[in-house]
Amino acid sequence: QVHLVESGGGLVQAGGSLRLACAASGSAFPHYTIGWFRQTPGKERDFVAAISNRAGDNTYYANSAKGRFTISRDNAKYTVYLQMNSLKPNDTANYLCAASPWDTSTWDTRMYPYWGQGTHVTVSS
């Protein structure tokens, strides 16, 4: 089992940047694929990005994140980061990280049994 805590959210102007962090407990962290999702009130969680548990750290991005967001992991610190650049008002959401023991269908929330509580990002116009 793994416990996840997100941080780094806040208020930023359009065009600005934020770096979110997902800190995990548990020595099995390197064996988990970590995904970032976002959610706005009344809507389902949308996939943002994921980084694999396999050697080589394969990364996956939603179309909305490609070219603007970068996911990375530091296994020594049990932390995954989401660097978000060129933020837009429609990036405003609660951002959650999740852990999966698999490296398949990383966009699917059903593949992730472990979730954090989220960190809120607000992008003003």
Q: Contact at 8 Å (CB) between 22 and 48?
A: no
pLDDT confidence bin for 57, thresholds 50/70/90: confident
Tell me: pLDDT of 53 over 90.
Answer: no
Q: How far is CA 23 from the centre of its chain?
A: 11
pLDDT per residue as tens digits for the range 75-106: 899 999 999 999 999 999 999 999 999 988 99
Tell me: pLDDT of 42 over 90.
Answer: yes
Closest by Cα among 94, 95, 84, 76 to 24: 76
Which whole number is the average pLDDT over 100-119? Answer: 94
Q: What's the farthest any 2 CA atoms get from each other in the chain?
A: 41
Neighbours of 73 (CB within 10 A): 22
Percent residues over pLDDT 90 in the chain: 86
Residues 6 or more apart from 119 whose CB is under 8 A from it?
6, 7, 8, 9, 20, 94, 95
What would the DSSP string read from start to end of 7-20? E--EEEETT--EEE
